[in-house]
Amino acid sequence: MRAIELSAPTLEALRSVTLAQPHPGPGEVLVRMRAASLNFIDLAVATGRYKVPHFPIVPVADGAGEVAEIGAGVGEFAIGDRVIPHSKPLWVGGPARASVSAATRGVVLPGSLAEYVVLPASGLVPTPAHLSDTAAATLPIAATTAWRGLRAANVRPGSVVALIGTGGVSVFALQLAKAAGATVIITSSSDEKLERAKALGADHLINYRRTPAWDEAVLELTNGEGADLIIETGGTQTFGRSVNAAAVGATVFVIGFVTGATASADLMAIMTKALNVQGNNTGPVSDLRDVARAVAASKIAPVVDTTFGIDEVPQAYAYLAQGGQHFGKIAIAH
């Protein structure tokens, strides 16, 4: 079978190879991959910012496809079923444990840039019927993370959600928060992206280039109350502002390090506001199943900025590496 391998922690080490096609064992499923989508963890792996146990690896955590072969004892899927493999297929449910949550596709396990991948049946969820494989491939990390954030903050009608940037998690959080009846404030350096966010339902738009103190703008928009949930994607340059923009009892959901992984904050504000500062490393298969159901029920259409072909994988990585260029997700079609 054809696959893309990463033989070293550099974008120049992506290469097309031929590998033996795997076959499923008991409790496993062979998935014919149809699409993949990129996350910053994929870029971090390919540039040495995120360590992996060994090279070469088949990269990219997220993807979607169809069942091609079934191992003994698998009764929940049939050949031809469209499925989404979770990026952490061994973490079926419950709290994170290193023994299962560390096994990430494209890092420890084979990723999505291969024609066929063997996975445990328990690590797959059905693809919502209204989604293409390319759209479905965007769900495992981005949609699951957004879903976890909304649940951590108990987002409901009347809640206020503040989103930093317009990457995949932020756009999914916007769509899911609006489906839940929340008010959404979103920031970007691009007016064009802010208009696209408005078309998806965003209530308030902040251009952080013109308004560097976007946290003060969030407080002003909420009559001094602050946001109930802030999806903290920025890291070094944004974490302190996220704390300032948070309401009493709010959740600051820390998921990214786009501007760096070291940050400082006003501990007094965290204490006096009784903030829940929660880190997140995606979530289990059960959360992916829940968000896939929510996407199906609300007919949410994942936003795919650009789709590259399997022969354009280096270009897809390069586009992500430019930073701030895309709105939503970057996909790769097999």
Task: Give domain status of residue 8, yes or no.
Answer: yes
User: Does 324 have pLDDT greater than 80?
Assistant: no
What digits encode the pLDDT tens for the residues 8-51? 999 999 999 999 999 999 999 999 999 999 999 999 999 998 99
Structure confidence by residue, pLDDT tens digits, 259-303: 777 777 889 989 999 999 999 989 999 999 999 999 999 999 999
Give the pLDDT confidence of 197-255 residue by residue, as tens digits.
999 999 999 999 999 999 999 999 999 999 999 999 887 778 999 999 999 999 999 99
pLDDT of 310: 96
Cα distances from 101 to residues 41, 91, 93, 98, 104, in angstroms, run: 14, 5, 10, 5, 7
Same domain, 188 and 263: yes
Write out the residue range of the structural domain in which residue 197 sits.
Answer: 143-279
**Residue 95 within any structural domain of the chain:** yes
Same domain, 120 and 236: no
Residues 226 and 121 in one domain: no
Q: Are residues 220 and 260 in the same domain?
A: yes
Kindly state whether residue 37 falls inside one of the protein's structural domains: yes
**For the chain, what is the domain count?**
2
Q: Is there a domain that residue 251 lies in?
A: yes
Degrees to nearest 5, angle at CA 314 with 115 and 125: 40
Same domain for 66 and 130: yes
Clarify whether residues 261 and 162 are in a common domain. yes
Q: Can you give the pTM of this predicted structure?
A: 0.94
CATH value at residue 53: 3.90.180.10
For residue 292, being part of any structural domain is answered with no
Q: Is position 287 within any domain?
A: no
